[in-house]
Amino acid sequence: MPETPPSPLRYVHAGRVGDTAKELLQPDFVDRCVLAYQSAGFGEPGDSEVRSWRNSWPPLLEVLVRAGLEDLHIYLEFATLDTESRMDALLVGQRGPDDLVATVVELKQWTEANPVARNLVRLPGGDRLWTHPLAQTAGYMAFLERWFESDVARLEVRGVVFLHNATRAQAATVQESGGLPAEYRVPVVSGEEVRSSSEDMKLSELFRCADVQGLDQHALTTFTGARWRGSEALLDSVAAAVRGEPSFKLVGDQQTALLDVRARVRTALDSGQRTLIVVKGGPGSGKTALAMRLLGDYVNKPNVRARYGTPSGALTRNLRETLGVPGSDPLFQLPKNKVRDSRLLIIDEVHRYHRSSGGLGTYVLRNLSEVPVVVVFLDERQRVRPNEGVTEQEIHEFAQTASPPINVVTHSLNGSFRCNGSREFNSWVDDLLYDEPRPWAGTDYDLAVSSNPSEMERWLDTCLDQDRTARISAGFCWGWDEVRLGEELPGVKIEWEGGPHGEPQKWERPWNLRKDQTIAADGEFVGPESWLWATGPGGERQVGCVYTAQGLEYHDAGVIFGPDLVRRGDQWEAHPEESRDRAVRGVNADEYLELARNTYRVLMTRGMRSCRLYSTDPETQAFLSSLVPRDLR
């Protein structure tokens, strides 16, 4: 029957292949796997996923039994640590007392897949983009190679893709359309090939298990009891990548800030007392660069083994993309399970932490109870959802409830390294949104108001012509509904009176794209996926929102104020009914005012060199124009 997995291994079922094949015949087996799926923390499986289990598990188990591999151990829906993806099946056996073999099996019901971009395919007649199964398998193999650690056994990792509905020719086409790292060999096996084979040895060779025996109890205990943590080679690679990445280079006061924060970390590690270091800083103060440099300094120290996490999905994926170290994904996400192998956890953008289930306090007291030092990077004015955020005061309060109490140390970052290093601009933005607005008189930052979106886009084109990264973002006041491939993309549409003869003008651009929209039906590249909007080619022709901009930066920032935040007289008014963000449904105007102010503050402070403002509300546009010179380019 499905087992409840011990930490840190997670899966929906584990057992001998022969036993699993028999259990699969029981009518309630899949239903029990659904319960195990939920217990493992994977969430609620969709109907399509459950159907894939019913369709793919029987042919896999049938061929494994026919191949004489009944004594191998099989895991279904296997994941370790807190990876977001799961292996369809993992076969574990041994070649000798201390030589384990793990074979990743990627299961597909497909018969055809059309390659549309590197490592991406689209099924015939479908809209969705899928990762090529060879790339999926290689990623899982890299994870196993870089995170399995044992003092008594070695692990050899293999992989195979099983297209159980495909012909030989169809499987060969999928094999030829994919790419693999040079050190990997992953065959694509077809259902036709399996059905036509009458030799046990041939079948076991197809699944790369001909030389693998079943696990004895000692070997099984060795595998399940392994330390799942990054290998020295992996950690060294991450440390080197962080130190060599230009975007994490520190200058001036940032160097001093790193020395100060690092000294506080060292003191906390040496003291033996649990310590929570709160690093406070506004936009552009260098929070993420400092967090990454801390990771680079401590990730490969054997007595520390630092880890990094952030609630921001866009920032997480950008960091992984920037560093590009295979197998390093678990180092760049918040652990969901109790952390036992790290003495330093760094949490960036902690103001995005979800308040449900006790919020950050419960997470630190429960999941991080064995981590002596936690460093969080906080800007309370970047809370943009009602169910997110934490304050410095709340951190002090929950730290005192720990037994013994957690020591809290605060460090403030006072520098500004974005917005051309202009403290005046950051101060002006805060005065505009939270205090007494005043005319812009700064000379160290390029700020202006665009008279309409078309003028803003002409400014954007000028920036792009100078090889700068320029983006336009907007408040979430336009719908972002899902559409079929080939249909008009959801986006921002603005009309105004302003033609040469007073005729209406119109401007529209799509929102940042969902993954399935990035490649057109004809295979043409449309633009980057939403999480790469701020940095990827093509993002300049999409409109970003706060969720794809927060934590990131670009040279030039155009910001469109929507009707959710307008100026009336001497105060700002919030109109939550104008927002299309599902996260703020039901929020009253007073609470939404804080969230809207924070949202536009985030958007206005992304630009390193310049910023352009425009409001769709005429009264607000006039107010902004009274404070800021018009863009005369």
Contact 291, 376 (CB under 8 A): no
Task: For residues 388-398, give the mean pLDDT.
Answer: 94
Partner residues linked to 100 by β-bridges: 94, 155
* Predicted local confidence at residue 200, as pLDDT: 65
pLDDT at 624: 97
Distance of alpha carbon 369 from its chain centroid, rounded? 25
Domains in the chain: boundaries: 13-228, 232-412, 419-627
pLDDT tens, position by position, 241-272: 888 888 787 766 678 888 888 898 999 899 88
Locus of tokens 């700020």 = 447
pLDDT at 5: 39
pLDDT band, very low/low/confident/very high, at 119 (cuts 50, 70, 90): confident
The pLDDT value recorded for residue 358 is 85
Cα–chain center distance at 387? 19
**47-55 CB contacts, 8 Å cutoff, 24+ apart:** 52/107, 52/109, 54/30, 55/109
Mean pLDDT confidence for 175-202? 86
Distance separating alpha carbons of residues 140 and 87, to the nearest angstrom: 7
What is the 3-state secondary structure of 599-621?
A: HHHHHHCCEEEEEEEEECCHHHH
Q: What average pLDDT does the chain have?
A: 90
Distance CA 190, CA 167 (A): 6
Q: Does the structure show a pLDDT above 80 at 436?
A: yes
Alpha helix ranges (H) inside 123-167: 133-147
Per-residue pLDDT tens digits for 66-106: 999 999 999 999 986 766 689 999 999 999 888 999 999 99
- Residue 339: the pLDDT is 82
Query: Taking a C-beta distance cutoff of 8 angstroms, is the pair 588, 575 a contact?
Result: no
- Which pLDDT band, with edges at 50, 70 and 90, does 620 fall under? very high
Whole-number pLDDT of residue 228: 82
Among residues 401, 437, 470, which one has the least CA distance to residue 608? 470
- pTM given for the model: 0.85
Give the model confidence (pLDDT) of 121-130 as tens digits.
Answer: 889 888 888 9
> Is residue 415 very low, low, confident or very high in pLDDT (cuts 50, 70, 90)?
low
- Would you call 480 helix, strand, or coil by DSSP? coil
- pLDDT tens profile 13-67: 999 999 999 999 999 999 999 999 998 888 899 999 999 999 999 999 999 999 9
pLDDT at 2: 40
Residue 181: asked if its preceding bond is cis (omega within 30°), the reply is: no
pLDDT number for residue 3: 41
Please count the residues of the chain: 633
What CATH code would you report for 232-412?
A: 3.40.50
- Using a pLDDT cut of 70, give the percent of the chain over it: 96
User: How far is 1 from 14, CA to CA, in rounded Å?
Assistant: 8
- Could you tell me the pLDDT band of residue 6, with boundaries at 50, 70 and 90? very low
Residue 319's pLDDT band (cuts 50, 70, 90): confident
Neighbours of 561 (CB within 10 A): 24
Q: Which residue(s) pair with 630 in the sheet?
A: 449
How would CATH label the architecture of 13-228?
3-Layer(aba) Sandwich (3.40)
| pLDDT of 4 above 50 | no
